[in-house]
């Protein structure tokens, strides 16, 4: 019955696609989940920008409405939330035994990670476009045009890659899902506030600046912000891309080590 | 596939697995021949699931060697998995996919030439056509087990590993599982069946290994294991005939092969025999040949439970022979 095994690369592609399809089945079954993940950034956009409407922070270009300023931050935080929760279904697969059954099939272990990763990237793309659409309704247009939108998607993907890798590794590493959620809840807000997402570094106390400068979220925001507002420099983008790639390299390296041990 | 065709289906030597202080496997030896239904019988915590996980390369053993279909599990786990259909102890199908979607998903992972067509075949085989489009989470326990059995059938592998497939099922669902195993046997497949129900091992398995605390304590055919306890007892009662004397049981049966002793008590004879299944026909032939009319016959065989008792000094599991729901049967 078993067909001659296809070449490893064909096999890997098919296994990844089968698993990607499974995640989309789940999405179809739990549409409220999607609505919910999409609502969160919308609420940020609406409430936080209304609250801070009059804010003039040191380091903000004069005349920039806060709403326009924070668009890049909301985009980044959405990527963060989405990527960091990417490991959750794996956590449940692991706890209810599905993962064991999956591992008993002759698939490449990496296809489990690849399938999940592609799914998260697809959702992130949809969210990014949605937020940009909403921002446009609120009067924030991407000054750098279509190329800028592409750039925003790309930088989001770069941040998402490393974070997803960490999330998947964390899902395999924790002993109990409670730990995972606790870590996620504890890390989220400090990382958001200690980044340039909501305020420029100039508005921060010194210790916070150092954290913000090393925070991968800031790399992403600092590239996305000029893409939204205009006035970016090539050097700025290269620096952000380099920072994010370095973060990805470390994150993927750590995750591969963890996953290799766990996905026996 | 590069498997070695004449190697045994499974060969395990000196397998050791420790979970910290717990010695789950303490030097297990096992050999399963191709085409047989082999039972791994043991109480909760004996090490059955641990053995299975090592065989599939899901757990690394701390010592010893495991070969499946002639392949070393430690170095060729992927090939091993290609040749094995696995039905885990817990229910594992995806609750958020329908039965059909579950099967198609796994069919694709096994790279079957036509995943859709094959899934339909398997749906029919396990009798889930009518529920195929319902989410698995709406299935009954028995239906979900059947779905898992179906997943194990998809790539029609040479070796099937079923870990306590009838645990927690009602009588009807258990019988279905038994039929499933019988069908695999008919198709010449090898089956490794983990169970802690001795009636199940007794009725389904060609050979049984009794496992206790990570060690094999006995391994043979169910009847040989039971014969080893000192044989079976045939009880005959002749019908009463007016005026006729009771049959001379000792003369009638005493000299037969396999008969060890005959205790006559009027119309009743209590005959100790070796291998009751083979002795009983001989005993009956002899009585019929002597025209002794028979009112009743019974054959009493020691159970595998008794075998376990003999080898370990403990009972297998209280009430394990009853098709009771999983109450207490499942570990944490
Ligand atoms: N992940 C684990 N961590 C620690 N101990 C474990 C783990 N898995 C199994 N054990 C222990 O190893 C021993 C063997 O367990 P195993 O699951 O192989 O038994 P089993 O024969 O399958 O039992 P059951 O009939 O209850 O399924 C038990 O003492 C069990 O508690
Ligand atoms: Mg078990």
Distance from CA of B27 to the nearest CA of A (A): 22
Contact B97 A264 (CB under 8 A): no
Q: Which of A211-215, B85-89, B295-299, B322-326 has the highest mean pLDDT?
A: B85-89
Q: Residue A30: which pLDDT band, with cuts at 50, 70 and 90?
A: confident
Give the ligand whose atoms come closest to the C-alpha of residue B45.
1
Distance from CA of A256 to the nearest CA of B (A): 18
* B74 has a chain A CB within 8 A of its CB: no
| Mean pLDDT across A159-171 | 92
Cβ pair B238, B292 in contact under 8 A? yes
| Mean pLDDT across B314-330 | 44
Cα B166 to averaged position of ligand 1 atoms, centre (Å): 18
What is the predicted pLDDT for the residue at B319? Answer: 40
* B125 has a chain A CB within 8 A of its CB: no
- Average pLDDT value over all residues in chain B: 88
Residue-wise pLDDT for B211-238, tens only, equals 999 999 889 998 888 777 777 888 889 9
Distance CA A165, CA A76 (A): 17
Residue-wise pLDDT for B225-271, tens only, equals 877 777 788 888 998 887 788 888 988 888 888 888 888 888 888 88
Distance CA A224, CA A73 (A): 8
- Count of residues making up chain B: 332
Q: Which atom of ligand 1 is nearest to the CA of B330?
A: 26
What is the predicted pLDDT for the residue at B60? Answer: 92
Cβ pair B12, B31 in contact under 8 A? yes
Q: Residue A2: which pLDDT band, with cuts at 50, 70 and 90?
A: low
Distance CA B109, CA A22 (A): 12
Contact A104 B88 (CB under 8 A): yes
> A73-82, B87-96, B268-277 — which is least confidently predicted?
B268-277
Q: Provide the percentage of residues in chain A whose pLDDT is more than 90.
A: 34
Q: Check whether B329 has a pLDDT greater than 70.
A: no
What is the predicted pLDDT for the residue at A20? Answer: 97
Q: What are phi and psi of B61, to 5 degrees?
A: -75, 155
Chain A contact set for B91 (CB, 8 A): 97
| Neighbouring C-beta atoms of residue A253, cutoff 10 Å | 11
Write the DSSP string, A142-180: -TTHHHHHHHHHHHHHHHHHHHHHHHHHHHHH-SSHHHH
Distance CA A47, CA B70 (A): 65
Query: Where would I find the beta strands (DSSP E) of chain B?
Result: 10-19, 22-32, 37-41, 63-68, 71-72, 84-87, 159-163, 190-195, 207-212, 215-220, 232-238, 259-265, 268-273, 294-300
Q: What are phi and psi of A81, to 5 degrees?
A: -60, -45
Place of tokens 């009112």: B295
Distances (CA, A) of A105 to A63, B67, B107, B154: 59, 17, 10, 11
Distance from CA of B80 to the nearest CA of A (A): 8
Cα B94 to averaged position of ligand 2 atoms, centre (Å): 20
Q: Check whether A93 has a pLDDT greater than 80.
A: yes
What is the predicted pLDDT for the residue at B325? Answer: 36
Q: Check whether B3 has a pLDDT greater than 50.
A: yes
Chain B contact set for A2 (CB, 8 A): 1, 82-83, 110-112, 155-157
What is the predicted pLDDT for the residue at B327? Answer: 37
The closest CB to that of A5, out of B111, B118, B157, belongs to B111
- Average pLDDT value over all residues in chain A: 87
What is the predicted pLDDT for the residue at B328? Answer: 37
Q: Residue A4: which pLDDT band, with cuts at 50, 70 and 90?
A: low
- Strand pairing category for B232-238 and B259-265: unpaired
Q: Check whether B4 has a pLDDT greater than 70.
A: no
Contact A2 B90 (CB under 8 A): no
Distance CA B74, CA B68 (A): 10
What is the predicted pLDDT for the residue at A239? Answer: 93
Which residue's alpha carbon is nearest to atom 2 within ligand 1? B19
- Would the CB of B47 count as within 6 Å of ligand 1? yes
Chain B contact set for A104 (CB, 8 A): 56, 58, 81, 84, 86, 88
Residue-wise pLDDT for B60-73, tens only, equals 999 999 999 999 99
What six digits make up the tokens of A60? 């903000």
Q: Provide the percentage of residues in chain B whose pLDDT is more than 70.
A: 92
Distances (CA, A) of B79 to B75, B110, B215: 9, 11, 27
Q: Which of B111, B144, B331 to mutate to test the interface with A (most CBs of A within 10 A)?
A: B111
Q: Residue A5: which pLDDT band, with cuts at 50, 70 and 90?
A: low
Contact A2 B109 (CB under 8 A): no
Place of tokens 């060690």: B215
Which residue's alpha carbon is nearest to atom 5 within ligand 1? B19
- Would the CB of B48 count as within 6 Å of ligand 1? yes
Mutation test residue for ligand 1: of B12, B26, B49, B330, the one with most atoms within 8 Å of CB: B49
What six digits make up the tokens of B328? 């207490």
Q: Report which of B272, B270, B273, B266 is spatially closest to residue B248, judged by C-alpha positions.
A: B266
Instruction: Provide ipTM, 2 decimals.
Output: 0.85
**Which residues, including other chains, have CB under 8 Å from residue A99's CB and lie 6 or more apart?**
A90, A93, A112
Cβ pair A76, A156 in contact under 8 A? yes
Domain-by-domain residue ranges, chain A?
8-262
The closest CB to that of B105, out of A5, A6, A18, belongs to A18
| Mean pLDDT across B89-101 | 94
| Mean pLDDT across B319-330 | 37
Contact B110 A2 (CB under 8 A): yes
What SS3 class is residue A30? coil
Mutation test residue for ligand 1: of B39, B41, B210, B331, the one with most atoms within 8 Å of CB: B331
- Would the CB of B44 count as within 6 Å of ligand 1? yes
| Mean pLDDT across B14-37 | 95
What is the predicted pLDDT for the residue at B332? Answer: 34
Q: Report which of B4, B9, B55, B73 is spatially closest to residue B35, judged by C-alpha positions.
A: B9
Distance from CA of A12 to the nearest CA of B (A): 10
Sign of the Cα torsion B74, B79, B85, B88 reads positive
Sign of the Cα torsion A253, A257, A263, A264 reads positive
**Nearest chain B alpha carbon to A13:** B109
Distance CA B158, CA A103 (A): 19
Query: Residues lining ligand 2 (ion), CB within 5 A?
Result: B 48-49, 89
Which residue's alpha carbon is nearest to atom 24 within ligand 1? B44
């Amino acid at each position: 019955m078993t067909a001659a095994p296809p070449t490893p690369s064909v096999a890997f592609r098919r296994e990844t696609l089968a698993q990607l399809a499974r995640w989309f089945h789940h999405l179809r079954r739990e549409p409220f989940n999607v609505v919910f993940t999409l609502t969160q950034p919308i609420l940020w956009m609406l409430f936080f920008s209304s609250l801070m409407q009059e804010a003039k922070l040191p380091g903000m270009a004069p005349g920039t409405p806060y709403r326009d300023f924070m668009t890049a931050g909301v985009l980044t935080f959405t990527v963060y939330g989405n990527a960091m929760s990417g490991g959750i279904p794996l956590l449940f697969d692991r706890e209810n035994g599905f993962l064991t059954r999956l591992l008993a099939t002759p698939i490449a272990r990496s296809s489990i990670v690849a399938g999940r990763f592609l799914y998260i990237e697809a959702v992130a793309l949809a969210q990014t476009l949605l937020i940009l659409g909403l921002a446009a309704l609120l009067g924030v247009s991407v000054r750098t045009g279509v190329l800028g939108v592409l750039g925003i998607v790309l930088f989001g993907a770069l941040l998402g890659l490393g974070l997803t890798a960490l999330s998947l590794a964390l899902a395999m590493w924790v002993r109990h899902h409670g730990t995972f959620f606790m870590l996620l809840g504890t890390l989220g807000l400090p990382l958001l506030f200690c980044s340039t997402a909501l305020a420029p570094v100039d508005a921060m106390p010194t210790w916070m600046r150092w954290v913000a400068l090393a925070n991968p979220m800031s790399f992403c925001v600092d590239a996305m912000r000029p893409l939204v507002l205009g006035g970016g420099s090539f050097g700025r983008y290269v620096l952000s891309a380099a920072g994010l790639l370095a973060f990805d390299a470390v994150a993927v390296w750590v995750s591969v080590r963890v996953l290799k041990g766990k996905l026996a | 596939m590069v498997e070695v065709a004449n190697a045994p289906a499974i060969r395990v030597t000196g397998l050791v697995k420790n979970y910290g202080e717990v010695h789950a496997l303490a030097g297990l030896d096992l050999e399963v021949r191709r085409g047989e239904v082999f039972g791994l019988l043991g109480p909760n915590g004996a090490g059955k699931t641990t053995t299975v996980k090592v065989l599939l390369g899901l757990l690394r053993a701390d010592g010893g060697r495991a070969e499946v279909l002639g392949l070393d599990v430690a170095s060729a786990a992927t090939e091993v998995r290609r040749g094995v259909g696995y039905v885990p102890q817990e229910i594992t199908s995806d609750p958020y996919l329908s039965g059909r979607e579950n099967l198609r998903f796994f069919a694709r992972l096994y790279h079957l030439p036509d995943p859709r067509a094959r899934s339909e075949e398997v749906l029919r085989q396990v009798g889930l056509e009518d529920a195929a489009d319902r989410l698995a989470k709406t299935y009954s326990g028995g239906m979900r087990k059947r779905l898992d059995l179906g997943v194990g059938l998809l790539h029609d592998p040479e070796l099937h590993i079923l870990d306590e497939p009838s645990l927690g099922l009602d009588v009807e669902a258990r019988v279905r599982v038994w039929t499933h195993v019988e069908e695999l046997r008919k198709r010449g497949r090898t089956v490794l069946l983990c169970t802690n129900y001795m009636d199940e091992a007794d009725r389904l398995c060609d050979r049984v290994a009794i496992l206790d605390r990570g060690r094999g304590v006995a391994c043979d055919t169910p009847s040989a294991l039971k014969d080893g306890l000192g044989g079976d007892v045939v009880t005959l009662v002749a019908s009463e005939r007016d005026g006729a004397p009771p049959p001379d049981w000792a003369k009638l049966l005493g000299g037969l092969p396999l008969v060890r002793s005959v205790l006559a008590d009027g119309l009743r004879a209590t005959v100790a025999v070796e291998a009751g299944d083979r002795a009983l026909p001989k005993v009956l032939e002899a009585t019929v040949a002597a025209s002794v009319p028979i009112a009743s016959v019974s054959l009493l065989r020691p159970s595998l439970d008794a075998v376990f008792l003999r080898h370990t000094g403990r009972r297998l599991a209280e009430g394990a022979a009853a098709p009771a729901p999983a109450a207490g049967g499942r570990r944490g």
